[in-house]
A and B are shown apart, each in its own frame.
Chain A
Amino acid sequence: MGSPSVLGDNEISELPFLPEAAGILTRRGYALTIEELAEEANRNILISGISRVKADVIGDGGFQVPQGVQSPELRILSFVVASVIVKLTKNNLIVKKFALAEAKRIENFIRTIASSQRDSAVALLTLLYDRVLKMRLYRADRIIGSQLFEFKLRFQDYLTLATTINAPSWRLVNRVLDSGFVYIKMENATRLVRDAIARLIEDHIRSLKMVKAPQLLVEEAKKLVEETSEIVGSRGAARSWSVATNPEEYPPCIRSLLAKLESGENLSHFARFLLASFLINIGLSLDDIIRLFSRSPDFDERITRYQLGHIAGERGGKRYLTPSCTKIMSMGLCVKDESCDDLKIKNPIAYIHRRRKHRREEKTKHDTKAKGRRKGKGVPEDEI
C-alpha cells in the first residue's frame, strides 16, 4: 500500500505523531532538543504546549487547536512539549486523557475536511488505516438501499475496531455484511480510527525517553497533576454513589442468580459472568464478591480471583460491562417483573439507580401533595 504523499505540511501538523512530522521540523529548521525547547527564546512554543496540554487534560472537551498555534512547526512542537509534560506527570490517567483528547481532535479535523474536501478526507482516512491500524480501508462508494457507504472493511478488522464501542448500532448484527466485508460510512470510518490513534499516542508517550527534564517542564507537570487531582477529586466523587450492598435493591435477574448461588446450584459460565460484572460495576470489592462465589459447588478461589480480576479490567485489561437485558434475555436468564418494565430497564446496572430515583420522585410527589407546598424539585443527584 505504501504511503501516498497526499499530505501537505498542514495536514501532517494535525497528525504530529506521524514520523513525517519530524521531517517537517528538520526541513524548517526546528529540530530542537527538549533542553532547547525550554529556553527563553522559545517561550511561545512552551506557552502553546502548556495551553495544549491544559485544553486536553483539564479543559472539558476543548478540542480546538489552541489559540496562537498557527504555523505547522509550532503546532507540531506544541504537541511535543505537551507530550513531554504529560510524560513527566507519570500519571496514567493523565496520559489516557491527553491521548483521547488528541485523538478526538483528529477525529474532528477529519470531519471538518470531509464536509468540504471529500477526496482529501478519503485519502487521509485511507492513510491512517494503513499506517496506524495496519488495516486496509477499502473504497466502496456503494448505495445500499437508500444509503451511500463510502468504505468497507474486512469483517475481522471491523470487529477488532468496533467491539470496543458499546452502542448497539455498532454490533455486527446491525451492519451490512456481504462477501466478508462490512460496509461503513465516512463518519463510521472516522469514529473507528479514533481509539487506535489514542492508543498510538499513549504508546508514543510511554516510549519517550527523558534523560534530564528541564525544570520548567517538571514544574508544569506538577501543576498539572495538582489541577487534575482537584478535578478528578470533585467530579469523581460527585459521580460515585454509595455501594448498594443490599440485594433487595438488585434487579430480578441478579437476585435470582444470587438465590441459586445460595442454594449451591452451579451457575453457567454466562450466569457467572453476568453476576460478576454486575457486582464489580456497582462497586462491590473483589473480596466481597469472592465470598459470594465461594458458595458455588466447584469454587476455586485462585481461579475465581483471576477471572474476577479479568472482568474488573485489572492488569491493564479493559473492564467488562454488564451485559444488556437483550443479551440476558437471549441467554434465558431474564426474570423480569413489573419493576423492570416500569423503570424501562435496558441494562441491569441502571436498575438500582433508577429505582432509587423513582422512589425519591414518588416520595417527593407524595410529600409535595401532602404538604401542599415546596415545588417538587427532587433531591440532587449527588446526594444519593
Chain B
Amino acid sequence: MTQRLKVGEREREFLRTRYRGFYYRNLDKLWMPRSLPEREIGFLTFGYTYRRHLSFTDDAEFKATILRETPWGIFYSISYYDDPGNAVMERKGWKGADLVFDIDIKDLEPPCLKEHDFLLCDDQVLPYTGAGDLSGDGGCKKVDWICPLCIDDGKDGVLKLLDVLTRDFGISPGDIQVYYSGHRGFHVHIEDGELVSLDRRSRPQITEYLTLSGVDPKSIWRLLPLAEGEMNSLMGWPKRIVERASQVLNRPMTLPLANVLRKAKRFNSLIDGVIDDLRISIDPQVTQDISRIFRLPTSLNEKTGLRKTRCDDIMSCDPLVESVVFDDDPVKLHVTYAPKLDLGGYTYGPYRKTTVRLPTFVAVFLVSKGLAKLAI
C-alpha cells in the first residue's frame, strides 16, 4: 500500500483539543450500539495505535472513557459476543452480528477521482492515475479527496442497494439506516433482530446476491417467457436483468430471441455486460467478515474530522454540509497543497504552498489529511 501522510505532533494536539470539545458538547447525542456489553470496542488513539478488544458494561462507562481518552477514531464490532473483551477471536463466543454494508466510493470509480486524488512525492504534487502500487517508491504519499460529484455517485450506489434490500429481501425501510462515513463511503446498517442470527455461511450469499457474483446466465435463460406479455411476472434480479437486456436489444428479450442469441454465442456476453452494469458495489469483506470493527455512527472520522452522519433521505441529504461539526473560527495554516475543497456549503482553495486563515472545520480537514501545519 502506498503510505498516507502523517500528522505532526503539534497538529495532533490541535485536533485532539477540538475532538475533546466536540465529544464534551455532544456526549448525550452520541449514538450507542444496541447491547453494548456484548460488543467489542476499538479506539484509534492520537498516538497512532489501535486498541482493540475493549468492552464496556454500560453507555455511561463507554461515554466517560471516550471523554477521558478522546480517541481519534471510535469503532464497535458488528458482532455480539459472550466475552467481547477477550483478545482471542475464537474465545469471544460469537452470538450473532448486525448486517452492515459498506459502499466505498473508490470502488464505484467515479471519473472525478482522477482529477482530485493526488500523490505527494517529497513536496512534489503528481496526479494519481490509479495505476500501480507505489510502495517504497521515493516516499510518495497518496491523498484521497472528496467532492460533490463522487459523493453523488456514492448516493447512487446507496439507492441501488436500498432498492434490492427492500424489494428483494423485503427488509422494511424503517429497519435500514444509512450513514455517510465522513470520508469516502456510505454505511448501511440493518437493525432487524432476525437477521442478526444469520450464520457465517449465509452471509457471503447475501453479498453474492447484491454484487451479482456467480450468476449463471442459464438461470436467467430458464425463466424467460415465450411471449412479451408474460415478462411482467418476472421478479428480483431476473426482472432487472431481462429489462435491461431488452433495453440494450431494443426489443423484449423473450425465449425465442434469447435462443437466437445463444446460437450466435451472444447470450452470455450480453447477460454479463448487463450484470456489470447492474451489480451493486459493496465491499464484500465488510458484510462477511464478522470479526470486523466498524466506525461508530455520529463519531468523528480521523481522516477528515467530519462526523459519520445519518443520511436517511438519501436524495435530499447533503453529506458535505451535514457532517461538518466544527465552527468557523479562523485558524492560520501553512498549506502544502490542497485541491479545491467543497465543504460546509462553501468552496475553498486550491492552495499551493501558502499561508492562509481558514475556518476551523476546513483547518481540521486539511490538518487531518496531513496537508497543513499550524502557523502560530
Contact = CB atoms under 8 A, between A and B. Distances in A.
Interface in A151-183: 155-156, 159-160, 163, 168-169, 171-181, 183
B233 A143 contact: yes
A143 B231 CA distance: 11
A178 B219 contact: no
Interface in B193-211: 194-195, 197-199, 201-202, 205-206, 208-209, 211
Nearest to A145: B223
Interface string B139-162: 000000000000000000000000
Contacts of A27: none
Contact of A177 (B168, B222, B226): B168
B358 to A, nearest CB: 39
Interface string B80-96: 00000000111000000
A210 interface: no
A269 B234 contact: no
Contacts of A330: 211, 213-214, 284
B212 interface: yes
Contacts of A181: 170
B238 interface: yes
A174 B225 contact: no
A156 B223 contact: no
- The listed residue with most A CB atoms (<10 A of its CB), out of B89, B195, B202, is B202
Contacts of A178: 167-168, 170, 235-236
Contacts of B219: 169, 174-175
A173 B215 contact: yes
B225 A145 contact: yes
Interface string B229-250: 0110111111000000000000
A144 B235 contact: yes
Interface string A179-190: 111010000000
A241 interface: no
B137 to A, nearest CB: 17
A211 interface: no
B285 interface: yes
Nearest to A159: B202
Interface residues of B, number: 43
A303 interface: yes
B169 interface: yes
B88 A303 contact: yes
A168 to B, nearest CB: 6
A149 to B, nearest CB: 10
Nearest to A300: B88
A344 interface: no
A168 B216 contact: yes
Contact of B214 (A142, A174, A183, A302): A174
Given A144-B234, A146-B223, A156 B194 contact: yes
Contacts of B208: 171-173
Contacts of A159: 198, 201-202, 205
Interface string B265-309: 000000000000000000011000100000000000000000000
B209 A177 contact: yes
A171 B171 contact: no
B255 interface: yes
A270 B89 CA distance: 16
B224 interface: yes
Contacts of A183: 235
A177 B202 contact: no
Contacts of B90: 303, 306-307
Contact of B236 (A177, A324, A327): A177
A234 interface: no
A71 interface: no
A180 B209 contact: no
B167 A179 contact: yes
A180 B198 contact: no
Interface of B: 88-90, 167-171, 194-195, 197-199, 201-202, 205-206, 208-209, 211-216, 219, 222-226, 230-231, 233-238, 255, 284-285, 289
Given A172-B208, A303-B88, 19 more contacts: A143-B233, A144-B234, A145-B223, A145-B238, A146-B225, A156-B202, A159-B202, A163-B202, A169-B219, A172-B205, A176-B236, A178-B170, A178-B236, A180-B168, A268-B285, A306-B90, A324-B214, A326-B214, A327-B213
22 contacts: A144-B238, A145-B223, A145-B238, A146-B255, A147-B223, A155-B170, A156-B194, A160-B199, A160-B202, A169-B216, A172-B208, A174-B215, A176-B223, A177-B168, A178-B170, A178-B235, A183-B235, A268-B285, A269-B285, A303-B88, A327-B214, A330-B284
